């Protein structure tokens, strides 16, 4: 019984997530799409694991159920999940800036193919592409797990899964108004 509980802890964590939409579109400048499906407008609710994509030249702002704000750059694809231990943004590709609300329980995480950024309340940016990902901290601190290492980043610091992707924090957030 204990081993079943241990092995099923992820499923149990997900089942204990609060109900309702995972995010709401605050604003959409340009094309914002739900995949598969049609375009989204301000005020649209985003459910569990519903993929979103911004088009070329587009920009969107999402409010997560916990109050966190997510600034989404053009040509970005993501979806949001929730569990008892906190919400997660699954960034498939593109760029986001997260202003994480203070977490009452658990942590807000951003997951890419090769990195996990975990916070309780801060401002940080994540870029993900085929070559790897970069986490840049604007305010607060962010714990980053990348293959073979775990880092605690402070304001002005970055963690790149491939060193060639590293830039400055100012460049990482320069696309955002």
Residue given tokens 């149990």 in the structure block: 12
Q: What is the pLDDT of residues 88-99, one digit of tens each?
A: 999 999 999 999
pTM above 0.85, yes or no: yes
Give the angle 45-48-50 at the CA atoms, nearest 5°.
70
C-alpha separations of 37 from 1, 15, 50, 79 in Å: 42, 26, 10, 14
Per-residue pLDDT of the chain (177 residues; tens, 9 = 90+): 556 555 554 554 444 455 668 899 999 999 999 988 889 999 999 998 999 999 999 999 999 999 999 999 999 999 999 876 689 999 999 999 999 998 777 889 999 999 999 997 789 999 999 999 999 999 999 999 998 899 999 999 999 999 889 999 999 999 998
Q: Which helix (H) or strand (E) holds 6?
A: helix 2-7
Give the whole-angstrom CA distance, residue 1 versus residue 75: 46
SS (H, E, C) 73-141: CCCCEEEEEEECCEEEEEEEEEEEEEECCCCCCCCEEEECCCCEEEECCCEEEEEEECCEEEEEEEECC
C-alpha separations of 39 from 52, 87, 92 in Å: 9, 24, 19
**Residue 136 has which token pair?**
């840049």
Pairing of strands 86-99, 77-83: antiparallel
């Amino acid at each position: 019984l204990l081993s079943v509980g241990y092995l099923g802890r992820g499923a149990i964590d997900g089942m204990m997530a609060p109900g309702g939409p995972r995010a709401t579109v605050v604003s959409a400048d340009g094309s914002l799409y739900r995949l598969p499906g049609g375009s989204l407008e301000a005020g649209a609710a985003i459910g569990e694991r519903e993929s979103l994509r911004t088009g070329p030249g587009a920009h969107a702002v999402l409010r997560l159920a916990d109050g966190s704000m997510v600034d989404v750059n053009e040509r970005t694809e993501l979806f949001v999940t929730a569990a008892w231990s906190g919400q997660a943004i699954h960034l498939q590709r593109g760029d986001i800036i997260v202003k994480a609300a203070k977490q009452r329980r658990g942590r807000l995480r951003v997951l890419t193919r090769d990195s996990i950024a975990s916070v309780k309340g801060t401002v940080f940016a994540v870029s993900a592409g085929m070559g790897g990902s970069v986490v840049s901290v604007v305010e607060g601190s962010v714990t980053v797990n990348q293959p073979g290492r775990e880092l605690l980043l402070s304001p002005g610091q970055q963690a790149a899964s491939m060193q060639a992707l590293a830039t400055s924090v100012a460049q990482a957030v320069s696309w955002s108004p």
